[in-house]
A and B are shown apart, each in its own frame.
Chain A
């Protein structure tokens, strides 16, 4: 029975608490059922055993009664002895029975509790089984669909594989053919190879001998080396022992410093414990460098657009106006013919309106297309600087509608106005050229020119006066070209030179090493020792980040404190550093409308505000930095400046020194003038690109427009020029006569363009500067020189192209004009 109960318990024990799958659950369930059966049979046996015990007791009672009867009837002593023996047996049996009963009860209780546990485990197992069955079903479904997909994939891949096998077979066949072909070559190569191998073997044998010799020599050397190694090892060991001694010394030092540090820490804790209420200041995005950089680019591009867009609009409108008007004017004979043939005014006008509008539509479409191309080019550069999300299109319907609408309105208006002037004339007058009346000189001119003025000069002046429309447009185009090219180059040089100046003229150091806000003396000593070892010129300075407040606005900047005379060698300030007060960058003062003697609030590390008096400005092109003497620092902040940085000046060995410092003080940070330049490299590229685009657009526009206008001039004057040639003027003289007029217009345009451009370039540069940058604002002679040169070349090309007609036109065509 016990073994049975043990079997049940072991069966129960093996009922898994961590059944994972259906099969295990099924197996466990089956096992459980079996064990239940066994338990039931065990209980049945127990019950039968109990029955037997009850029967036994009953029998015992009967036996006892019979015995008592027999005792009464029997020989007592023998019976007593028998009885005693029987009682002893009975006692022993009872004892055994009691033991068995106790054991039975115990085991029964255990079995029942185990059964209860098993039941609960079964029910949880069932629940789990149910859940996992559901999951397993899902997985089965998924597995089935995966299988289906897999079968499809398999079929597909099988087909592909079949195809590939076919192609592979084809390749194999071709390879075999190729193999056959190349086999001979291969055999030959093999023979050659074998020959080479034989030669190689011979060579190997020879070289092996020499190698053996070398090995022998090497062994000798190795022995020598070993000896040397032993000697060096001794030396190293002695050095090691020295180092150990030194280390011990350093440990002592460390402990000393540790004590100091712990003392400082205790002080700091004391200070923390006695801290005032926390201070806070509100800053805006100006303290976020990324934002500042992005805003700077946006401001620059916006500045470009603010200036160039109206300018292009004005030039474009003038060009449309004049060109359309001239084209319509050239059509006067055709208009006259149409009138003579009976076309109504509206019908004639409609033809030219269609022309004007279609030209405008084509121009707008091409212009918008070109605009998107140019914008995308600029975006390519900007994407190198910033991370943009996916910008779907740069086409702005509103802007396109405004530009297109304005162009159409201007073109249509010009055509309407020009047609109106022609349609007022008679058909005959238009056809024979007498209408509309040409502008001609009025009044009587003196016989001789004033002050010895030459005939040519008078003629040129009068030609200009009688063709003012074309002349004015030409001048405007040249003015625009000179301005655009000049300003484009001015911006480029202004930007590039500003940062070059800051990198090379203001920063006169090789690098600045920053040891943190509160550097340890040991680090400083290390750094200074390295400088001295390398003979570097250096200057300890206080360089810290800080916050300023001005007109309720707070932002971050840097504070530099050093002695004036020493600082000059490393940082060139355009003003002398005063003993009191602070120097601020010119752009800073401009931005915040500050002047000398004004007050600026500076915050220390604990965000305690301090008042600082502005005592001057210095030239600084990027970033903001307040410079003050140590005395001024003390006056403002009430404590000495912490010299946490070093400027270093050393030629080619600067990097070596920097590396040494970094090795000695891993936490040191370095700032180099080249880093500054690198930061603005992408922006420089952007500016160069924009300037280049300005120049290209300007050159292309000027070339096309001026060739057109000059061709019109030549065409209108052809009769006059042919008369001159007929009367004995050479081709060169005729061209020279016209060239004087065009050159006068060009010169006028260049001069006006220079004046306007130079006057405007200052404000344009200011408009494209960002908050933290100041470009070179002075007149760039080189830029304007380049503009004049380019326009001179353009003028030469234009005249050369347009004046060819003068030579090409035969004298006999004089009647045609």
Chain B
């Protein structure tokens, strides 16, 4: 008897893994593991589409990264395209493939060499996708591997359909602000530079969100639009359910005065005002200000109230900047790289303050940073790529500032 071919062996093993285990999640995990082993993949993930929201959720992942809790929008990235187009994607060498739009593994820091992504199609509709990747220094997939994956995906889809899979969605928080299809274009000579290509993002109340992304991906532009410092070219923004898409200058000023607090990388304190006066300066125009001394106390600088910024260290200045932001009792605090100019210890101090703000009040903190370590203390981590939200990860157990090390 001829030795069974690889495809047959793989299919048999996968079928066993999928059909012989009662618990669906465990079955899917086993299936993924077997498949990864058969194909010499470094890691894999199964994504399920929540039809109601159009968001893809990771239910199972293997390999060096835990992708559970990460979501992304259907149609975004390779995985999203596979689901939306119901067509498999196979990239033997992702670096050389021009059509490759990146994947979640790449977003999360695992550089892929080879990628297979196949739709989970239960003959009626596509309910998700299955992805496998190899490491940059690993092997490449072959066409046969794609076929195996497709078979596996079909089986998995049928099993999921038969047994039913409940995706554990994070508890829905009240939405503070929602961005829909936000685009932003800048004229660049005779061309138009599209920085934001359709941002869809909800900002919930009382959460800590970290925004990550490479340089030029549109992080700051998105922050500027959220903070009312810039207008979107198209799209809609709602603020606590009210349309805030095309506010006039007066409305924007009121928004910035009452809703938003800013923390800048370079502190931007008024050099000729003391620490307390810097906070008081903003408190005087706020509609519902906190007590100045209380704000100063929250950042632990009551004893430096009478000092000018030039007499304070970088960390102290940044804390005063935070106090200035929180004195307004804002609904959102936007922090643009607040720890970039600080050393670890000082940065940790600042993060502790921010953590305290989030936990103590009704304020959402949206922070842009390059430091992925800080993302571990966030409730959600939003990744931007090429002007779109490529993934949103929910941290079920975010770390504390004191637990961070970088």
Contacts and interface: CB of A to CB of B under 8 A. Distances in A.
Given A444-B307, A447-B305, A812-B224, A727 B272 contact: no
Interface in A434-486: 438, 440-442, 444-447, 455, 458-459, 462-463, 466
Contacts of B271: 438, 440-441, 466, 720
A460 to B, nearest CB: 9
Nearest to A810: B230
Contacts of A458: 273, 277
Nearest to B259: A728
Interface in B248-301: 249-250, 253-254, 256-258, 261-262, 264-266, 268, 270-274, 276-277, 280-282, 284-286
Nearest to B269: A723
A458 B309 CA distance: 16
A725 B230 CA distance: 12
B308 interface: yes
Contacts of A442: 308
Nearest to A728: B257
B257 A727 contact: yes
Contacts of B227: 726
Contact of A466 (B272, B276, B306): B272
Contacts of A447: 274, 276, 305-306
A729 interface: yes
A811 B224 contact: yes
A814 interface: yes
Contacts of A446: 306
A145 interface: no
A462 B272 CA distance: 6
A194 B155 CA distance: 124
A728 B329 CA distance: 13
A719 interface: yes
A445 B310 contact: no
Contacts of A455: 273, 277, 280-281, 284
Nearest to A433: B266
B249 to A, nearest CB: 8
Contacts of A466: 271-272
Contacts of A462: 272-273
A730 interface: yes
A727 B256 contact: yes
B270 A720 contact: yes
Contacts of A440: 271-272, 308-310
B280 A812 contact: no
Interface string A706-730: 0000000000000110010111111
Nearest to A449: B277
Contact of A459 (B266, B270, B285): B270
Contacts of A463: 272
Contacts of B276: 447
Nearest to B261: A727
Q: Which of A440, A445, A719, A727 has the most chain B CB atoms closer than 10 A to its own CB?
A: A727
Nearest to B327: A727
A728 B305 contact: no
B324 interface: yes
Interface string A328-369: 000000000000000000000000000000000000000000
A161 B306 CA distance: 102
A260 to B, nearest CB: 98
A213 B254 CA distance: 101
Contacts of B65: none
A455 B220 CA distance: 32
A222 B244 CA distance: 107
Contact of A730 (B230, B253, B286, B310): B253
B32 to A, nearest CB: 44
B308 A728 contact: no
Given A455-B281, A459-B272, A441 B310 contact: yes
B308 A445 contact: yes
Contacts, number: 93
Given A440-B271, A440-B308, A466-B271, A728 B258 contact: yes
A441 B273 CA distance: 9
Contact of A727 (B274, B282, B305): B282
Interface in A720-779: 720, 723, 725-731, 733
Contacts of A719: 268
A441 B307 CA distance: 9
B326 to A, nearest CB: 12
A727 B324 contact: yes
Contacts of A441: 271-272, 308, 310
A458 B281 CA distance: 11
A723 B270 contact: yes
B305 A812 contact: no
Given A727-B257, A812-B230, A814-B268, A444 B306 contact: yes
B26 interface: no
B229 interface: yes
B254 A728 contact: yes
Nearest to B310: A440
A672 B253 CA distance: 72
A723 B310 CA distance: 17
A726 B281 contact: no
Contact of A445 (B253, B284, B306): B306
B289 to A, nearest CB: 11
Given A440-B308, A441-B308, A459-B272, A728 B230 contact: no
B59 to A, nearest CB: 40
A731 B253 CA distance: 9
A733 B254 CA distance: 13
A810 B220 CA distance: 14
B130 to A, nearest CB: 42
A445 B276 CA distance: 10
Contacts of A459: 270, 272-273, 277, 281
A438 B284 CA distance: 28
A466 B264 CA distance: 24
Interface string B213-244: 00000001000100101100000000000000
Which of B258, B262, B268, B285 gathers the greatest number of chain A CB atoms within 10 Å? Answer: B268
Given A447-B305, A455-B280, A728-B285, A811 B230 contact: yes
A727 to B, nearest CB: 5
B78 to A, nearest CB: 32
Nearest to B293: A447
Interface string A63-103: 00000000000000000000000000000000000000000
Nearest to B223: A812
Most interface-central of A463, A730, A731 (chain B CB within 10 A): A730
Given A444-B307, A447-B306, A814 B264 contact: yes
A724 to B, nearest CB: 8
Nearest to B254: A728
Contacts of B256: 725-728
Contacts of B258: 728
B341 to A, nearest CB: 11
Contacts of B262: 723, 726-727
B286 A728 contact: yes
B229 A729 contact: no
Contacts of B224: 811-812
Contacts of B281: 455, 459
A455 B262 CA distance: 21
A445 B250 CA distance: 35
A812 B282 CA distance: 19
24 contacts: A440-B309, A441-B308, A445-B308, A447-B276, A455-B273, A455-B284, A458-B273, A458-B277, A459-B273, A459-B281, A462-B272, A719-B268, A720-B268, A725-B256, A726-B227, A726-B229, A727-B257, A727-B285, A728-B253, A728-B254, A728-B285, A728-B286, A730-B253, A811-B229
- Return the 4 tightest CB-CB contacts between A and B, nearest first: A728-B257, A462-B272, A811-B229, A440-B310
